[in-house]
Amino acid sequence: MFSSPARTACLALALAVIPAETRAGDLADFNAAVEQSESHNRVAIGYMRTGNIDLASLELDRLREAWAALQQRFNGKPPDAFDGVSRYGAIWTTVSARLVAADLMLKSGHPDTARQSLEAIRRDFYDLRKAAGIAVLADCVRDASAAMDALLVYDARALDWTKSDTRFGIANKASIYGYELDRCDSMAGNALRKAPEFRRLIDGAKAGLALIPTAIATRDSDLLHRVLIELRSFDNLLAFRFG
């Protein structure tokens, strides 16, 4: 019988000789592989939204290649964090079907429908991670976008500023959006947090939010409108680059 140190050494040797493709790897590897796939997804969605079909098709091809690599690495070999999460097994067929649908719709001249399939893939991974209690920056950006949608409801020139519910509602929704931005900022890695593009979007959105108390205090619907339009722009760019 081996001594404890000997058993440890044998185990380490056994793990070392197992081919990488037969092991699930850790959660960080999975998240990085998903992000590689989703980076092409975001660009493809952007091109479809602007009607650039040729470039959208190119990004869709790249997305399928990244998805094939992700499948080969992790299909049937989940990181421990997904143990017991039923969505993990289902996502492989679901996303593959959505990619086929997106390709067919794009080639048949229906980019909006193709884009809906790709956006559904983003939602699939969001739901998967949420079911496992996992959060990444892309999920935070998605939550921030939902908070922005709730704030944008107040983009109306005919706001009744005399109602306390209106003033409180705007302040509350702005606070929630600000909280989500702070959370996304804290979730970003050190390198990304210092990146000029990321800082411009986060700090720009925060600067816009700082004007909302003034709009409320002065009951200035025009100022609120300008701020909300600017915030929507920052939010869209965050979603396009990091969501």
DSSP assignment string, 116-175 = HHHHHHHHHHHHHHHHTT---HHHHHHHHHHHHHHHHTT--TT--TT-HHHHHHHHHHHH
| Phi, psi at 161, each rounded to 5° | -70, -15
- 152 plus 67 within the same structural domain: no
- 97 plus 156 within the same structural domain: no
- 90 plus 23 within the same structural domain: yes
- 112 plus 62 within the same structural domain: yes
Determine the average pLDDT of the residues in 211-240.
Answer: 94
What CATH number does residue 170 fall under? 1.20.120
Give the C-alpha separation, 157 to 15, whole Å: 65
**Residue 44 within any structural domain of the chain:** yes
| Structural domain range at position 237 | 137-242
**Residue 40 within any structural domain of the chain:** yes
Confidence of residue 201 (pLDDT cuts 50, 70, 90): very high
Alpha helices in 18-85 (DSSP H): 27-50, 53-74
Report CA torsion sign: 165, 142, 97, 73. Answer: negative
- 126 plus 143 within the same structural domain: no
- Token look-up 């094939």 returns 68
**Residue 3 within any structural domain of the chain:** no
pLDDT greater than 50 at residue 229 = yes
- 150 plus 234 within the same structural domain: yes
- 124 plus 152 within the same structural domain: no
Report how many domains make up the chain. 2
- 39 plus 93 within the same structural domain: yes
- 25 plus 126 within the same structural domain: yes
The pLDDT of residue 76 = 84
Confidence of residue 7 (pLDDT cuts 50, 70, 90): very low
pLDDT greater than 80 at residue 193 = yes
Per-residue model confidence as pLDDT tens digits over 45-104 = 999 988 899 999 999 999 999 999 999 999 988 899 998 899 999 999 999 999 999 999
